Chains A and B, each alone.
Chain A
Amino acid sequence: MSESIAYYPGCSGLGTSKEYDASTRAVCEAVGLDLVDIPDWSCCGSTPAHTKDHTLSAALSARNLQLVSGMGLNLAITPCPSCLTNLRTANHRMENAGFGEKVNKLLDEPYAGGVDAQSVIQALVEIVGLDNLAAAVRTPLTGLKVACYYGCIMNRPPEVMAFDDCENPMAMDNILTAMGATVLPFPLKVECCGASYGMPRPDVVARLTGKLLDAARDLGADMIAVACPLCQMNLDLRQGQVNRILGTNYRIPVPYFTQLMGVALNIAEAQLGFGKLCIDPRPVLSKALANAGSQAKGA
């Protein structure tokens, strides 16, 4: 068991990405990461805050980093890349003393630095390690063809995110390979899906998300594994909208990578929340695993 890690679910973890939050918690428990919720955490401000003002944005994030300090911990992990980028950007910019002072003037309790924020992916790879993850597999995802989609800001800009390759990240690919899946070389791993423009500009999201679905289908992917609640929403909930706007007929399941890990680690299905996704990945998943099983028997 590793040392305790502060856990920041992010607002969508309480709503539209409940299944990401649930599967993340279950996977971390299964592989020995001890997550402790940050008491009374608040929203990082997401995109809307940094488009309004950088001091305000950093203050909304720093309130949470300060809470982690108060827990006596120095590492927080979050499943959401938007939360992650805000927490890391706040840390990065507050290294500048003048900026840090401006941010702290907005807070009840000043944040003195010293708390690192990482993605769940980074913690799985660096703290648990790929070998240990592979050793924990009970039901290998043999035969499942997956395109791993990281979204635009999980690893960018590299100066701030400081993990994995910014143009061709491999951490999620490596994790799902360790789970036994066949991970396809997806060329649009870090291309933007349209982000939060789904509501004000569905045409923009249709075009950008449509490209991702098109590339995944051309590759012959059974599903697209994701790590971002907003990407997941655009690719899954809005897939029908994309089809209507573009005149296409995609029907590709888009599970979170943690849900697929859960299957491989034999975590009870009730904890993985596949039923919360619009396009249920379970039929495709069962078929791929059954095919692999019958081929193994035949061989």
Chain B
Amino acid sequence: MNIINLSNDFDADFVHRVEEESGQKVSLCYQCGNCTAGCPYTFAYDIPVSQIMRLLQAGQKKTILSCKSLWLCATCESCTTRCPNNIDVARIMDVLRHMARREGRAAIPHIKTFWDVFLDSVRAHGRVFELGLTAGYVTKTGRFWTDIELGPKIFPKGKLSLTPHDIQGREHVARIFERFERESNS
């Protein structure tokens, strides 16, 4: 068991920001454990979701923002759907990821890379280019063996386009990203 010295490292500002960005009241969690019981990813998490909620109540910013669980949550909405106190737990997990990103933390870097490459594709083409996403992920992570066995299964089906489906208004989509970055940096 980890011992936490609350008088030393309770980060009240962190709790306040999570509540503000998620619109949720973290003190409502009474640790019933329903979220963890239903979470399909508990087996893969380093910290189960109910414990993240408890650490959040205790203002443990560093522990939370550097945990792997944040990058394994698939937003399946099981926790949110089953919380007896109507806490949108999945939204809190999303907000914690946003904060981890802003602090330059990504405990599982290649999952962040996968998401980033996806968004780069949307920004460039207006729609995601599936084959380009795979190629971009493999190149950026150096994981050249990724899904190599699936190639012979999927290619003969004639589903994967070799070129992106650029939309006419792709500059509109690119501008959404540009304005977002400007707003975030202001």
Mark A residues whose CB is within 8 Å of B.
11-12, 14-19, 40-43, 45-56, 59-60, 63, 102, 105-108, 152-153, 156-158, 166-167, 190-192, 194-202, 204, 207-208, 237-238, 240-241, 244, 275-276, 278
- Interface residues on chain B, number (Cβ under 8 Å): 60
| A-contact bits for B76-110, CB 8 A (1 contact / 0 none) | 11101100000010100011011001000000101
Least distance between B161 CB and chain A CB atoms (Å)? 6
- Note all chain B residues with C-beta closer than 8 A to A238: 150
Within 8 A of A (CB), among B147-165: 147, 149-150, 153-154, 157-161, 165
Hey, which chain A residues are within 8 Å of B126, CB to CB? 40, 42-43
Q: Please give me the residue from chain A that is nearest to B83 by CB atom.
A: A157
- Is B74 touching A157 in the complex (CB atoms < 8 A)? no
B118 and chain A: residue at smallest CB distance: A48
| CB-nearest residue of chain A to B169 | A40
Q: Top 6 nearest A-B pairs by Cβ distance? A: A48-B115, A152-B76, A192-B76, A156-B77, A195-B74, A48-B118
Q: Tell whether A276 pairs with B157 under 8 Å between CB atoms, given A59-B176, A60-B122.
A: yes
Give the distance to chain B from A84, nearest Cβ to Cβ, in Å: 12
Q: Which of these binds chain A: B11-19, B24-32, B40-48, B58-66?
A: B40-48
30 A-B contacts, Cβ less than 8 Å apart?
A: A40-B167, A41-B127, A42-B122, A42-B167, A43-B122, A43-B126, A47-B74, A48-B114, A48-B115, A48-B118, A51-B94, A51-B98, A52-B97, A52-B98, A56-B176, A56-B180, A60-B122, A60-B176, A63-B173, A63-B176, A102-B183, A105-B183, A106-B176, A156-B76, A192-B41, A200-B110, A240-B153, A241-B150, A244-B149, A276-B159
Which B residues are in CB contact (< 8 Å) with A198? 147
In angstroms, Cα B94 to Cα A246, docked, is 30
Q: Given the interface contacts A14-B161, A15-B130, A198-B147, does A157 sit within 8 Å of B88 by beta carbon? A: yes
**Interchain CB contact under 8 A, A43 and B128:** yes
Q: Which of B72, B76, B115 is A204 in contact with, Cβ under 8 Å?
A: B72
User: What is the distance, in angstroms, from B169's C-beta to the closest C-beta of chain A?
Assistant: 5
Binding site for A on B (CB under 8 A): 40-41, 43-44, 72, 74-78, 80-81, 88, 90, 94-95, 97-98, 101, 108, 110-111, 114-116, 118-119, 122, 126-128, 130-131, 134, 137, 146-147, 149-150, 153-154, 157-161, 165, 167-170, 172-173, 175-177, 179-180, 183-184
- B41/A108 in contact, CB under 8 A: no
Quick one: given A156-B81, A157-B80, are A237 and B150 in contact (CB under 8 Å)?
yes
Complex CA–CA separation, A216 to B90 (angstroms): 28
CA distance A40 to B180 in the complex (A): 21
Please, how many angstroms separate the alpha-carbon atoms of A16 and B129 in the complex? 11
B175's closest neighbor in chain A, by CB?
A108
- Is B74 touching A194 in the complex (CB atoms < 8 A)? yes
User: CB-CB < 8 A to A191: which residues of B?
Assistant: 40
Q: Which residues from B are CB-within-8-Å of A192?
A: 40-41, 74, 76, 78
- Whole-angstrom distance between the Cβ of B152 and the nearest chain A Cβ: 10
The answer, among B137, B149, B159, for a CB contact under 8 Å with A240, is B149
A153 CB contacts on chain B under 8 angstroms? 75-77
Docked-complex contact A197 and B72, CB < 8 angstroms: yes
Let me know if B153 and A237 touch, CB within 8 A: yes
A42 touching B115, Cβ below 8 Å: no
> When the two chains form the complex, which single residue of A56, A60, A204, A278 contacts B41, counting CB atoms closer than 8 Å?
A204
Within 8 Å by CB of A199, from B72, B76, B134, B149, lies B134
**In whole Å, how far is B2's beta carbon from the nearest beta carbon of chain A?**
25
Inter-chain CA distance A42–B125, complex, in Å, is: 9
Chain A residues with CB under 8 Å of B160's CB are 15-16
Task: Give the chain B neighbours of A18 by CB distance below 8 A.
Answer: 159
In the complex formed, the residue of A with least CB distance to B74 is A195
CB distance from A250 to the nearest CB of B (A): 15
Q: Smallest distance from the beta carbon of A145 to chain B beta carbons, Å?
A: 25
B84 CB to nearest A CB, Å: 14
Tell me if A200 and B81 are in contact (CB < 8 A): no
CA distance A256 to B78 in the complex (A): 23
Query: Across the interface, do B111 and A200 meet the contact criterion of CB distance under 8 Å?
Result: yes
Nearest CB on A from B186, distance (A)? 11
In the docked arrangement, what's the CA distance between A265 and B114, Å? 40
